[in-house]
Amino acid sequence: MQRTLYGEEHRLFRDSLKKFIEREITPHQEAWRDAGVVDRSAWRAAGAAGFLCPWLGEEYGGAGGDFLHSAIVSEELARAYESGFAMPLHSDIVVPYLASFGSDEQKRRWLPGCASGELITAIAMTEPGTGSDLAAIATTATKDGDGYVLDGAKTFISNGQLCDLVVVAAKTDPDPARAHQGVSLFVVEAGTPGFVRGKRLKKMGMASQDTSEMFFEGCRVPASCRLGDEGQGFMFLMQKLQQERLMVAIAAQAAAEQVLADTVAYTQERKAFGKPISKFQNTQFKLVECATEIEVGRAFIDRLIVEHARGEYLVKECSMAKLWQTEMASRVVDTCLQFFGGYGYMLEYPVARAYMDARVQKIFAGTNEIMKIIIAKQMGL
């Protein structure tokens, strides 16, 4: 089906982004995977080209675009099999906390650097003993004079080694009876005493993403680094998690589309028993099933992109998209990998990396089991 949500301005933006990826990303992907981290120079290049925080207003150094520009960035990175350059995490998951909940002074202080790529961001929610249950976090922020002292450990933090700013969820009220009212958000800058970066974690997929542990050991931050009022953190997280889940779904959809396109091309070239394997009925039936799931997913996700861009609050639908698109992408990639035979198991083939990258999408941004609980509540069950 023809996509109608993007205008001419978006088409030009996509064309420019594709050229940027070909020039600044594709030649370096293998080196980044080997190093386990993306070069900082790539972040600055992306910022200079207007691909970071493209929705941000010009008064803060942004391009003044919209959420559709962000969706394009996520789609094209997925189509380039680049899962480690966490531009969508930075632009559309972390920075929105600063833009939505930061004071004027905080916005002027941090947002221009976020748009330029001089400041790379991360968000520290997950803890070693706490995943999707954000009300149960153990990291504390104890009031001390005109500031707070943070103590605790975080894990699975994307951009953990590179980040210059990290939004930290911490308990300012330890009373279990006030679990949801006791969470606050703080912006911690690199170099703050007591902010310790742990080891970069070795993962099954997303090889070029510097996912890390993070520790706060008597880390003192001024009150000017708190986002919003004390105790508003859980509410802020709930507001922004919908966009985070939608971004995951957008990437999963685009990845499934690219893997299918590459698999169709491969089956038309690869021969067995004297003819292309695309001519076998099993190949055709399996790829048709994948194509049908992808078309259904595309119709749903494009509708959500448009409605989300209009400002609609789509808790149920974003949770459904995160659940369905990530499950669908896993099915599609697994089916497609089979047609590559032994080559599908080789890391030099993008389909193998896509297979590994797809698995975590059913875990982060809230596990798919949590998505089912949210959807059930939205249904009044």
Residue among 376, 254, 233 nearest 315 (CA): 376
Query: What tokens appear for 222 in the block?
Result: 């001024």
**Measured distance CA(333)–CA(317) in Å, rounded:** 23
Residue among 246, 337, 248 nearest 290 (CA): 337
> What is the SS3 assignment for 166?
strand
- The sign of the CA dihedral 18, 23, 25, 26 is positive
Query: What tokens appear for 292 in the block?
Result: 């049908």
**Measured distance CA(304)–CA(374) in Å, rounded:** 17
Is 244 tagged catalytic? yes
Residues 6+ apart with CB under 8 A from 15: none
Q: Which of 244, 257, 293, 327 is catalytic?
A: 244
CB-based burial label for 312 (10 Å; 0-12, 13-18, 19+): exposed
Residues 6+ apart with CB under 8 A from 269: 276
Residues 321/256, Cβ–Cβ less than 8 Å: no
Residues 6+ apart with CB under 8 A from 235: none
Residue 129 is inside which H or E element, if any? Answer: none
Long-range contacts made by residues 174-183, C-beta under 8 angstroms, separation at least 24? 174/140, 179/135, 179/136, 180/135, 180/234, 181/231, 181/234, 182/231, 182/234, 183/134, 183/135, 183/137, 183/231, 183/233, 183/234, 183/237
**Measured distance CA(120)–CA(46) in Å, rounded:** 12
In this structure, which amino acid lies at residue 314?
L
Q: Provide the 8-state DSSP code for 59.
A: G
Radius of gyration of the chain (CA): 21
Q: Name the residues annotated as catalytic.
A: 244
